[in-house]
Amino acid sequence: MQDESTRAAAEEFRAELARLGLTPDPEVRKWAREQLDNARKTWTPERVGALRERSRRGAAEIFGQHGDSPAAPPNGRNAMNRDEAAEVAREEPTDWSAAEVDTSERQVRLGYTVAFDADDDVSQWLVDEATERGLNPIELIKELVREAHQRATSAEGGRTA
């Protein structure tokens, strides 16, 4: 049984969703109930615990639930709760007229896509060679390209362009 505070919070949440026009239709509710009932019948307590822990860690990474999370606010507080978020949304828009533009240099990164057919000998060699070197195929490709670049520049007397 749910206690009164949980029930009241659930009702408040449903009312807020309805106010925002985000109420699920009866078909979606039925599907969700079936999924929950099936999980309750088939999942072991260990599996439920592991899923909750994984969800907690994921939320911490995304929403900064812990002070050491890269997503945590700089003041070390936890992420804002619903009431704080609603208060911020009601405030006047931020005045950016006195903002300063950061024009410092940033490293530019380029990404390239390489595709091989699954039955291509090169793709199998790449996987085998990466495994032998203790790398993944992407790391091996980077390493091979750097080695080729070094050979090319040393053969050309240090010229890179």
| 20-34, 82-96, 108-122 — most confident range | 108-122
Residue 140's pLDDT is 92
The residue whose two tokens read 């390239």 is 112
Mean pLDDT over 122-139 rounds to 89
Residue 143's pLDDT is 93
Mean pLDDT over 27-34 rounds to 80
- Report the distance separating Cα 61 and Cα 71, nearest Å: 6
Mean pLDDT over 137-149 rounds to 92
Residue 63's pLDDT is 63
What three-state secondary structure class fits 108? coil
Candidates 138, 143, 142; CA nearest to 123 is 138
